[in-house]
Structures are given as C-alpha cells and as structure tokens.
Structure 1
Amino acid sequence: MKKIIFMFLCAATCIATLMAVPAKRLTQTIVQPDGTEIEVILSGDEYCHYFTTTDGFRIAKNSQGVYEYVILQNNQLELSGLKALNPDMRTTEHAELLTSINQEEQRNFAVQQRMAKRNTRNKMIQQKVEVSERTKMPVILINYSDVQMAVQNPQTAFNDLLNQTGYAANGATGSVKDYYEDASFGQYLPQFDVYGPYTLPQDREYYGANDLWGDDVRAPEMIADACALADQDIDFSQYDANNDGYIDQVLVFYAGHSEAEYGPEESIWPHRWVVYPSINYDGTDEDITFDGKTVADYACFSELKGYTGTDMCGIGTFCHEFGHILGLPDLYATNYSTHNTLGSWDLMDYGPYNNDGRTPPTMSAYERFYLGWLTPTILHEAGNYELVEIQSSNQAYIITSTGEHNLDGANPDPTSFYLLENRQQTSWDTYLPGHGMLVTKVNYSATKWENNTVNNTSRSMGVEIVQADGRSSTDGDSGDTYPNGSLYTSFTPYTNYPVYNITENNGLISFAFMDSSTQSREDADCFTEMFERCTQQGTNDISSSLNNYCDNDGWSGTKIFEENGGLKLASSSSGGELTTPTLGLTGTINVEALLSPFGNDNATITLSLTGNGTLSTTQWQVTAEDVYTCSISDADASTQLTLSVEADNRFYIYAFEACNETISTVNQAHSQTFLQILPTENGLRFENVLQPSNIRIYNAMGQLCWQQKILDAQDCPLPQGFYIVSIFNDAGQLQYSQKIVCQ
C-alpha cells in the first residue's frame, strides 16, 4: 500500500497568507542509499518546500531514505514506489510513469488545499506595519542548544548589518536601514534594537525538523522561547506603536544556515508568520505576554548565508521579509508554478539573492507607489519626455487606458495600468541583468493581494514586466528593458497611447508619447479583447455585468463565468452564448480567438453574425488550447460575432482579435517573392531575403515584440501567440503586413 506523504495543509500548521522568501535556485547532488547520484532542485518556500528533478518532477523520501517520484492519486499526493533517477538514466518504466504525471494538476491541488484551510488565524496577523517616518522593532539573536552563532561579536555584527550607515562588511552595498531610507527617498527610517544572543532550551532539530508536509515543526515555539529569554533585557511595551496590545513585530536571527539556501533539513526556512496558541503553538496567551504586550506577528532569518561555511548573511532575505511586514505581497508564483515572473529584477521575487544576498535591487516604482513613497506622473498629453534613474529621482510615469488615475497605489483606480521607470546598474541595482526603461504592467486584484497569489496565473499576472524583446527569462535578462541599444524603441500599451523613439544616453531615458503620425501600425484596423480584468475563478454567472470584466464595453451573453485571464462559457446543465460588441470594421475581417476546452469537454462552438457579413465557417471544434480562426466577408461597422455552445460543451476564451485584411503598397504575392515568413518551434524564421528588410513584430496588444533590419535569413524567437509582422522601407513607410500565429 502506498504511503501518503503530503497533505499540504492542516489547520494547525499551514495558512494561506504565510509569506516567505523563495528557494534559492541551485542544483544539488543527492546520493541515494544504493550510491546512485541524482541532481535535484529545491522548490517552494516556507509554506511548502520540496525537491524536484532537474526536469520538474516532484520527489520525496520513503521510510528507507530513498527518493521516489510523487504522484497525485485519490485526491492525495503519494509516493509512487519508483526510485527517482536523472533523466539520462531512466528506463521505460520511468517514462511510462512520468508521462502520466500532470505537474500542473499537482500544483493546482496544492493551491486548492491551502485555500480551503484558511481560518481565523488571518484575523490575528497584522497585515502590515504602518509606514510612518520612524519605527523601531526588537531584533533577538538566538543560539540553539547544539548550534552556536559563528559570527564574532554577533550583537555588534548584526547591529551594523541592520543600522550602520554605509555598511560594507563582506562586500555589502549598505545596511537594511540604508536600503529602506534609499528606497523611500528618505521618507522611512526604521530602527532595529538588537538583543542577545540567547541560548534556546532545545536543539535545532526540535524546532526546525520538517513534518510530513515539509513544514518546520516548532518555529513559533522558537519565537516564544526567544522572547521569554530576552524578556530580562527588553521592555516589550515600547514596541506596540498602535497600542493594540500586541507587539508590532518580533524579528529573530537564529544560529546557522537557512533551509531556503540548501542548509540542513532541520534548519528553519526564513519566513514571516504568527505565534498563535492552540493553532501552531502549544502554549497559552499568558506564555507569550511580556510587559503587558503579546507576541503575535514575527519574522525570522538565518545567521549565515549558503549551506556551508561561516559567511554572515547579507541583507537580501531580511529586506524581502521586511517588505511583507510593510504590506508587500510575494511576486513569485506562490503556488509553485514554473512560469516566469519578475525574477532578479524585484525584491519581492528572486532579487533578494542578487550578489549572494548582499545587494537586493532597489524597490520598484510599483512597490514605492504601493507604499506611498512615490507618486507617478500620469501620461496623457502628447510630447517628449525624460526619465531619470529611479534611485536618484524617485520618478516614474503611469499610463492608463483612460489617461486618468487616482494615484493611490494601495487602492488604485483604474486597477490596470503601466509604470515606466529608469533602472541603471548602479548602487542597489548593480547586479540587475540589464539597464534602461523598465515597463511594468499592473493588474490589481484585492483578493489576489490579500491571498498572496499575485502572480500565480501565467495568463493573468498581477505584476509583470513587459519584456522589450518578448522573450521570457526566469531570472530576467538584458532584453527586458527598452531600448537595449536601439533594438526596441517603442511599445503601445493602449491603442491611443503609443510610446516611441525611446533612447538611452548616459543613463538618461528619453521618449515620445502619443503622436499618431509616427505610428507604423494602424491599430484602429483591429478590435482586440484580452480579458485583462478577469483575475480569478468565479462560480457566479456574470452575464449581466460583462462590462466590469472586459476591456471593451458591449459584450453580452448568457451563462458566462469569470476565469483567471478570461471567461468560461456554459455549465454542465446549461448552454452558453457570448456576443462581441460591434466590431467597427468593414469589408473582410480576419478573426482569431485563443480558446481552450474545459476539462474533458470537447466544445462544439456555433458561430453566427448579427448585422451584415458572411462567415467562412460556422463551427469551431475546440479539443485543445489553440488559436481558432475564421473570416467575415462584406462586414459593416455594426457587425457582431456570437459564439454559442450547448450544455456540457464548456470552454474558455482568453483572447479575441478581429482585424481588417491589410493590403499595402506592395501586394502580398509580390512581397512573398522576396521574403518568406515561416513559423518554427521557437518563433519565426525569415528566408529568401533578397534585399535589406526592416522588420517589426507586434503582439495582439499592439506592443512591439521584435525589431531588426535583416540582411539574410534570420530566426526570431517568440512565445506562442498571434502576431503582426510588418515590413518597412528605410524611410519608415509600411510596405507589407501579415498576421501570423506561433504555436
């Protein structure tokens, strides 16, 4: 009988809003009991962490210490009974098992379980510390009974790391106080009062050993014991600024290494949580009340960096966790999904590990905006603009679809917007992967922020970088910023708000905004809907309020439900219907829609028109996620398209675009005699290049993804999606344009 090894959640240990630094991305060699070596990667965070093979399959130890593959069976994660091996050593038996494993399904199971177990603990944890000019917090240093701090003069060393102006020990860029003073542009000056070290009554394994769910068994008890020992030296009553009876925050550095950086399994994973009697701590409120104030919210960190040696930690992990204390969510995928997020560009993603944790990147324009430390300038008038490096200017621009914004970062209206900032590889940003204008797209959802699930859905991330080169990189790369030399000089966040002529000279960014005469693509010839206001799965029929969920007003239908990044049509008992607004296009229209079936439903979608026009097909058979196409001839401006399905034909729609055929000064037949545009597995390839060609490729949102003058055959890497490839002469005049799908 297979042993159940994970349940991910239980009311006593795992709560949805526990926040932590992500695992450091390293490959480690594990030796199986029979001597076989396997390369593994540590994944997850304090809430749930585990090893995977290098190709992403989850593994865990059985009772004999052998790592096996994990499978999802009978709504539980279980050991498979098959020993894990490196990809190049696997047998046919391994191939059969791994083919049957749905990694996405395993991740979804974890999320469903953890969300189902949210409980009253959430009412206890203080969502954020009020950001006043000055705050002070106690920092307690602790030894275990069997592990002592290795740093010499630890109280002095940690006081310097936290408070010293110009801190430079071990190659540091500054102290925690330096970091937050710089990020806030002098508006926030934290004070950290360091006490200890004290020696705990138990050994490290007692507090930090992992249970069956991968959690440290007694981390809250470690905090309670630390406070009890420090009570002799600390007047805790001075650390309750809002006088609510709870200590605002207890911060603890524990001896030794961190499990997040491949330290011993019994070491604690740095995190922010709460001490909650009867839930995660066996003691009572009286046991954690000192000087009339009760311990609740806490964060803890390791003394040392890495997994061996005695090098003192950097400030990166502390700054990340302190960001949570101030109210910032995690920006990595907290459901352990593998899609790309902000990586090393951002403090609340993988940035805490920059320069081995010594130089976290400065807070982004969005994080400063959210905390009230930066007010961006709204772009709504045509003109030429300059953008100074953010660390020296605290400057950013904001673009919205309406040209207006309430400029409240924590409660934004509208909730979707773009931020433009200038990042240069100096000071805190020295170890960024690139430099230039960084464009961040924000799609705020109070539910996602509260649940710490901001970037868990790849199609509907709450905060993401608009990558200039259109290529994803988990850790970020130099192609993420504009203009990257002169390769990427424009993008169009909204049809009527183009940004172009982006240049970078001696660290200064210049650009032009909103002058239609410079635009190469006629965006008015397309109707585009990306459903960006759909941010979560819903069970209520939203047919009567579609204007609240769609980018364009005028959608209508029946039996329509919200989905992350799109809509779901129909139910098991009722059919559904979705009708577009009037498309505002005439003549021949090419239609493309990104669709996916629901579960095992193979949806047969009936297409019909309101108004003039003739459809090239009246049916789509949706059996897999793909781009489905049709054309409408003889359309007029009032033409609308309807998608209808019967019960048990449920499907998702994630994107919709309708465009007029583009006929330019060079007809299509002639164009293709000198240039061929061919889809490949990784994007597009240009062949038969008989003359120099200026190529620009736009995605469905009108954003420039790729730009280059090609002289010979050329590959262009692109993710899946539909694109417009435009060819220009040296005078900047459009010669030819073609829509193409990369699958």
Structure 2
Amino acid sequence: MKKIHVFLGSVLSFGLFAGAEAAPFNPTPKTIDNDGDSVTLQKLGDEHYHFTRTIDGYLLEQDSNGVYYYVNSNGERSNIKAKNADARSAADKAFLKKLDKSKVLDSHQKKHPDRFKRKERNKRPNWVPSATSSESSNSSDSGVPAVRYLPNAKVHTQGNIKFPVILVAGSGSQASIDSTTLYKVLNQDNYTAGGHTGSVRDYFNDQSSGAFKPSFDLFYVTVNNSLSSYIGNEDQLVAAAISALKSKYPNFNASSYDSDGDGNIDATGFLYAGEVNNGQELGGFQYELQWNNAGTQDAGNGKKFNSYFIISDQSYFPVFVHEFSHTMGLMDHYCVRADDCYSDFTNSSYQSPGAHYWDVMATGMYANGGLTPPSYSGFERAFMGWMNYTSLTSSSAVTTITPLNTTNMAYKIPVSGDNDEWWVLENRQKTKWDAALPNHGMLIWHIDYDQEAWDGDALNDDKTHQRIDVVEAGNLRVTGYYDGFETTHFMDDPFPGSQNVTSYGPFTSWAGKSQGIQLYSITEKNNKVCFATQSGVSVGDCNSAVSSSSSAKSSSSVAKSSSSVAKSSSSVAASSSSAKSSSSVVKSSSSSMQLVTQTINLSTELTISDSYESVSLDLSSVATALGISAANASSLYQSGELTYSAVTSAGILDNTPSTAEEPGHWFDEQGNVISWGAGAALYSNLNLDNMTATIGNYPDGITPGTYSIAQALTFNGKQVIFKTQITAKSSEGTLAVKAEHKGRTQMNLEHKTLHIAAYGQAVKSVALFDLLGNKIQTIQFTGESYSLDLAPFAGKVLVVRLTEGGKVMSQRKISVK
C-alpha cells in the first residue's frame, strides 16, 4: 500500500490496531475534594487511552477509595497524594521535581494498552469496497486487495430511519435526565430548550439537507448488577441490557430497525444512568458485538444486534452525535493512539495533531458546552452521499463559494493520477451549527485516504502526515492536546481569516507533485468567499461571480413518527363511552407539499379512577377522513406511511410518546404532553387495529371538571387533528375517600428527612419512584405519622406516593438536596 510506512511505525510500536471508535473526553478542569485536600483535575484522551492530570500537567491515578495520587516515573501510582500547587509540601515538590512529565506519560501509556483491538487485523469496513481493475488507483505488495478512493457511505444514511436507544439502569444507579426531555433532545424538530441548537434529529436533517431524518425509540431497562461491575466488560452490560429488553418488551420489533435488510439492526445506542463509582469510565465508544466476547445478540424477527455505542446519559448530546456518526462509517479525526497525541509541541516544528475545534469527529464536538457541535465538513457530507463536490480548475473566472451550512456546496481539487488524495474548499459562516466556530471564512481540507490508517482509526495519529487536515491560513500554533478545546488557537485557520491571508498555493500533494492551481485575491464579503485562480483578476465584492452549486442527494420518503417507550404503571382496562363529533376543514401548505388538515371534535365522559380504568373512544370518523380503515391502519403505521403525534394546547405537534402502549401519550391538565408520574393527568392510547382510543386518568391526577386533549394522524398528504373534550366525574367511593383525607395528609422534607402526617390508624404505604416511573422502595406504617430518611437519595428527584387501602392519599415530587 502507498503512504503506509509512517503510520505502521507509530501504531505497531504498541503492537495493536484500534477497533472501537471513541470520543475525546471533555477536559474542562474540575475541582474536587481529594481526601481533605482540594485538587483541580483534567481528563484527557478517550476510551482507547485516557488519563487524569493536574492543571500543571502531573499524571494522577486513583486508589480503591477514589483518592488521587501522583504517577511516578514507572507509570505507576505513587504514595504521594495529589494537591493543588499552593498546598504542596516541600516533600511533594521534591518528588515532582524529579519527574520528567513526558517520560511519565510514555510509561503510563505502555502500561495501559488499548482494550479494543479487533480480533482480525485486516477486517474491511463495509464502506470500503474492493477495487475493480478500472477503479484501482494503487496496488498492494502484501496481498491485501487494492482499494479505490473513499466512496460514499452505503449504510443507514438516507431516508427516515428508526433506531433503538436503550436506557440502562444498574443496581443503585439513577438517571440524569427524564424520559420526556431525553426524547425531545433526540427527536423533537427545532428543539431549542436549555440552549440547544437543535435535537439530534435536527442535526442530521440539517447536515443532509433533509436526505436523512433519523428518529430514536427509547426503551428503559434495568440490569441486576451495579454499572461499575461492567467497567472493561461493556459487551456484557450490552448483552444484559438486551436480555432485559426482550423480557420487558416481548413485542420488540427488530424488523423496524434493519433498513438495509442485512439481518442486523443498523445501530443501537445504549445510555447508562448517571455515573459509575469514583468517576471511573464506563463506555464512551462505538463498537461491534461480533468483535466482543459476547458476540452478536439475537434481536428477534430473524435479526441480530451488532453495531452499538455506549455512553452516559450525562453527556448524551455531543457524544451521541459523535458516536452515532461512527455507526455510519466516519472515523475519529483527532489523535487517537500515537505517542505524540498528548505531547508538548511548544518547541517542536510540528503541531499537536488532529482536526480539533473544526470537526464534530474531533474536539469540536464540545463547542458551546456541547450544545452546538459544528456542522459536518464538505468531506463528511460527500462521504455520506449528502453532497456532490464541484470540481475546481484554473481559469480566468472568479470563483465564489456560498456557505456550506445553508447551500451545501464545496469545491474539490483532486490530485492528478491519484484518487486517494484531494483538497476540499468550503465556506464556513458562524450560523446555527457553526455558530460556535472559532472564526468564519474559507477552510481548506487536505484529504489523504489510506486503507491501513482508516481500518486502524488512526487518520491523524501521525504528526508528520495528517490525513484529515485543515490547511491553516495563519501561523498560530496548536502546542498541545488541550489547545484543541480553545477557540483562540484556531482564529487564523480560515482564509482570509484573522491574519488576512489572501493567497494560497500551489496545491502540492504529499508526494511533492504540484497540481498547477493557486488561489489569488481571496476575499470574504456578505457571507461569501471568492477568489481567482489566475493572477491579476479582480474579484470585486463576491456578488459578480456565480458559482455552480453541487446537488445534494436527498430522499423524499415520508418520515415515520418515532415511537418511544416510557414507563407506565399498569395495564389499562377498557369500558365503553359514546362520542359526538363535528368537523371543520382548513388547508395549510408546507415547503414540500400541500397538506390538507382537518380537525374533528370528539367528546367523552370519564369516571375518575385510582387504578387506571378507562373509556373507549370511537375513531372511525378519523379513519374515514384519512381514507384508511381498521383493517390497514396498523400496517400503515408500522411501515411509516401513517404517522402519529400529540398536539399541544398551543396547537403545536409534539412527537414525544410517553405511554408504554404505543402509540399513546400522557397529558397534563392543560393538555400538554408529559411523562408518566407527577404532573400527569390523562392518557390516550390509540388502538389502530380497531380505530379506537383508550382514555383514562393518572391516579389522583385530576379532579371533576372538563379537560381537552388533542392528537393527530397523518397519511398521504392528509392530517386529521382530533380534539377530545373529556368530562371527568367522580364515583361515590372516590369522593368519599377524597373527602375523608382532604386536608388531613401532609408531607414535609426537613434536610434529608421526609416527615409524613396522615389521618387515621389504618395501615398506609409510602412508595418512592424515580422520574422514569421505576419503583425504588416501599414502606408500610401504621398510625398518623412517620419519618423516612432520604439521605441515600441525596441529589436525586423522587416522586413520593402515600396510599391507604389501595387509594392514593397524596403524591409529591421531592428534590433531595
């Protein structure tokens, strides 16, 4: 293979080939109490190799109690406890003075080999095809088939595709995010809550110009062991979670998640709850089960679980985007495993390797605190098949480049006679996903594909030969790995940029061959970048030249509404009710097609229940308006042609499912979608097999009165919104219980102790739930008062329910400080 000797030298020094694609840790300094002493730490690296250090660069390791100690010259934990510089004793300083930081790092690195090497070194990724005689641009002396230049990905990158996401809790672990918020972060269109630039679905929809619209179905499972017991054996956690999934969700339809029909679920995300003991690292990578001891796992329907990624629910957004990109074939664009990844380049002629802040596949994923990871580069979009390059040749014309993130175009300069190497020219403006970039202007990327480097996920491990390289316009240097998280080191990278660099060239290949193209008078005006390829040509204000735009490949298939499974407490019994309906028709248009929207008004009566009893509402009028029937509605929903949403009180579609009986939603008293638990009032589950809705109330969630909820079904350009007015009435038994207990129950939290006062001497039960609806603990007591120690749940939010004789007396959401 060509251009391989340097890479082999750096990687074979470890005797390994990396197999798992990981994500860089966020190195933001964090101050902790270290057994009585304050110490500020940074975490660097990824799941291939990572370490913790002080802010002045001394490596640390924890003992079994979680206390940090300095690492000695042998790469092992010393007996000198870590402290901040101003608190170090004379003995501490004498010990540290003897250390050579680079040698300590080297020794430590050799004692912590990569645990993700593949069982077969030369496994070919499914996105690297064998070359035909007409396509081959190089040959191999080692017997490995020659390959052509990097093609478009041929996996799950087109259309409206569903992916399962399994949230895993272990013994004693607590989720960091509630189900409704997580679902919105992954799936909601134009999601901006909490400072987000969009949802995960928004991100990929924007990068693909609408060609790829993923949706993510949530499943919640619990494994018997603690999460910390799976550190280093994440495949066993994945296998245990899959087993729990099949047990809890016997109707899990694996066929819904195999878009290419190869027998494997396209990709599965595993998000574990919270963090493990002592801050140890669990997961944080993408891999394939076929390379683990666990092997591929049966998913039912003749399908297998194979490709997966596992991350914490505490770092879900940027890491989710990064790891999900790995499942589609992209590799890491930061320095992964070489000796120099964490070296100090202050006095070196080279820089710290990697694409750094410009790339979601590098440290750029943490831009704006992880809320605004940068857009895919032109290279990444073309790789996915979402953009066609426009070729650039030398001419007397002025070339104008419009913004990548709004026009999806970039230029390509190929290396003559070598399909493995080229340059990409793109215009990056600081809007939407690129809003947090270091600067704006034209980026020049130098791409050099090599099979061994790609298979080994070591594209930018060689400081002397970067294979996904940003060609810097200016002369600011990146002197260390940590610099990759700071925008100030990259202000000068674009053209003209902060140093007003207005020319570049000639473009010269790694083999030293000039391509005969040079850029002159590089100018940025009105968010456009223009230049000439011949000297003396005036470029003006960038508006006189019109560039030829690349056409992105897109899919026009109808998006299927995402189905998610959140916690529900009970199966629901049905009863009958009459419903009156009236309809009105309005027309609205979208950017892609004329959508006819019809509103149907329904009504029903509901007897308030403490045990989820329900009424059945006839939806035949909805089916008629859509032109479907009970005979085909379910199959249309499974195929994605029939989509389902809730409608908020403001008339906005909300695709957040919250009941276990898909499709269905929980609503609050105002008619907005909410998760099961505190604040929930009503539920409505759709039974598409007979076109009815099952409607009921959350125990103690409503009082007698009138409520309104709305849902929508869309099919073949028609959308029917059905608004249901629910008249809630109390039975005599329910009224009697409420009257008896009104004003006679009280729950107060004092420090970490919950004090309960309840009328009467009957046996009462106190149940604790997490925000996913999982029951944590149940206590029974007799009498009118009881105190419960909640110290074990410090930092958690609980739902506390007080019942007597199966009847709910009181329920509160409590935050334990």
TM-score, normalisation: structure 1: 0.57
Matched, 1:273 2:293: no
Letter of the 2:407 partner, please give it: S
Distance 1:137 1:160 in 2: 15
Counterpart residue number, 2:314:
304
Distance 1:23 1:456 in 2: 17
Counterpart residue number, 1:250:
268
Distance 1:42 1:120 in 2: 31
Counterpart residue number, 2:656:
none
Distance 2:101 2:373 in 1: 39
243 and 484 in structure 1: CA distance in 2 versus 1, 3 angstrom threshold: closer
Counterpart residue number, 1:54:
55
Distance 2:69 2:175 in 1: 35
Distance 2:67 2:169 in 1: 32
Counterpart residue number, 2:159:
133
Counterpart residue number, 1:468:
473
Counterpart residue number, 1:478:
491
| SS of residue matched to 1:489 | coil
Matches within 5 A, 1:596-635: none
| SS of residue matched to 1:458 | coil
Distance 1:304 1:94 in 2: 34
Distance 2:450 2:115 in 1: 16
199 and 125 in structure 1: CA distance in 2 versus 1, 3 angstrom threshold: farther
Counterpart residue number, 2:755:
none
Counterpart residue number, 1:92:
94
Structural RMSD (CA): 3.4
Preserved CA contact (<8 Å) 1:167 1:175: yes
Counterpart residue number, 1:379:
392
97 and 304 in structure 1: CA distance in 2 versus 1, 3 angstrom threshold: closer
Preserved CA contact (<8 Å) 2:272 2:311: yes
Tell me the CA shift for residue 435 of structure 1: 0.6
Distance 1:434 1:50 in 2: 30
Distance 1:162 1:64 in 2: 36
Question: For structure 2, which runs of at least 5 residues remain unmatched after alignment?
Answer: 1-10, 128-152, 343-351, 479-483, 509-513, 539-817
Matches within 5 A, 1:186-225: 186-192=210-216, 194-207=217-230, 210=231, 218-225=236-243
Preserved CA contact (<8 Å) 2:172 2:226: yes
| SS of residue matched to 1:510 | strand
Matched, 1:513 2:533: yes
Matched, 1:487 2:500: yes
Preserved CA contact (<8 Å) 1:40 1:52: yes
Counterpart residue number, 1:397:
411
**1:509-535 deviation digits (Å, cap 9, x = unpaired):** 1111143899xxxxxxxxxxxxxxxxx
| SS of residue matched to 2:224 | coil
Counterpart residue number, 2:43:
42
TM-score, normalisation: structure 2: 0.52
**1:128-159 deviation digits (Å, cap 9, x = unpaired):** 7343333322222333342333544x1x4333
Distance 2:39 2:22 in 1: 27
Preserved CA contact (<8 Å) 1:142 1:226: no
Preserved CA contact (<8 Å) 2:219 2:245: no
Tell me the CA shift for residue 81 of structure 1: 4.9
Preserved CA contact (<8 Å) 2:402 2:528: yes
Counterpart residue number, 2:463:
458
Letter of the 1:456 partner, please give it: D
Aligned match for 1:363, one of 376, 386, 393: 376
Letter of the 2:193 partner, please give it: A
Distance 1:181 1:65 in 2: 42
Distance 2:447 2:107 in 1: 27
Question: For structure 1, which runs of at least 5 residues remain unmatched after alignment?
Answer: 1-8, 306-312, 405-412, 519-743
Tell me the CA shift for residue 161 of structure 1: 2.2
93 and 255 in structure 1: CA distance in 2 versus 1, 3 angstrom threshold: closer
**1:193-212 deviation digits (Å, cap 9, x = unpaired):** x13323333333333xx45x
Counterpart residue number, 2:451:
446
**1:677-701 deviation digits (Å, cap 9, x = unpaired):** xxxxxxxxxxxxxxxxxxxxxxxxx
Letter of the 1:396 partner, please give it: A
Q: Which has the higher contact order (CA 8 A, sep 6+)?
A: 2
Counterpart residue number, 2:517:
497
Counterpart residue number, 1:595:
none
Distance 2:431 2:420 in 1: 31
Preserved CA contact (<8 Å) 1:204 1:267: no
Preserved CA contact (<8 Å) 1:485 1:504: no
471 and 48 in structure 1: CA distance in 2 versus 1, 3 angstrom threshold: same
Distance 2:225 2:428 in 1: 46
Matched, 1:435 2:464: no
Matches within 5 A, 1:313-332: 313=316, 315-332=317-334
83 and 126 in structure 1: CA distance in 2 versus 1, 3 angstrom threshold: farther
Preserved CA contact (<8 Å) 1:221 1:275: no
Letter of the 1:228 partner, please give it: K
Letter of the 2:314 partner, please give it: L
Tell me the CA shift for residue 105 of structure 1: 6.5
| SS of residue matched to 1:299 | strand
The number of aligned residues is 467
Preserved CA contact (<8 Å) 1:38 1:85: yes
Tell me the CA shift for residue 463 of structure 1: 0.9
Tell me the CA shift for residue 334 of structure 1: 0.8
229 and 267 in structure 1: CA distance in 2 versus 1, 3 angstrom threshold: farther
| SS of residue matched to 1:220 | helix
276 and 69 in structure 1: CA distance in 2 versus 1, 3 angstrom threshold: farther
Matches within 5 A, 1:146-185: 146-152=172-178, 154=179, 156-185=180-209
Counterpart residue number, 2:546:
none
298 and 115 in structure 1: CA distance in 2 versus 1, 3 angstrom threshold: closer
318 and 54 in structure 1: CA distance in 2 versus 1, 3 angstrom threshold: same
Distance 2:293 2:530 in 1: 53
Matched, 1:25 2:27: yes
The farther-off stretch of 507-516 and 217-226 is 217-226
Distance 1:32 1:392 in 2: 48
Looking at CA atoms only, which structure, 1 or 2, has the larger radius of gyration? 2
464 and 264 in structure 1: CA distance in 2 versus 1, 3 angstrom threshold: farther
Preserved CA contact (<8 Å) 1:124 1:296: no
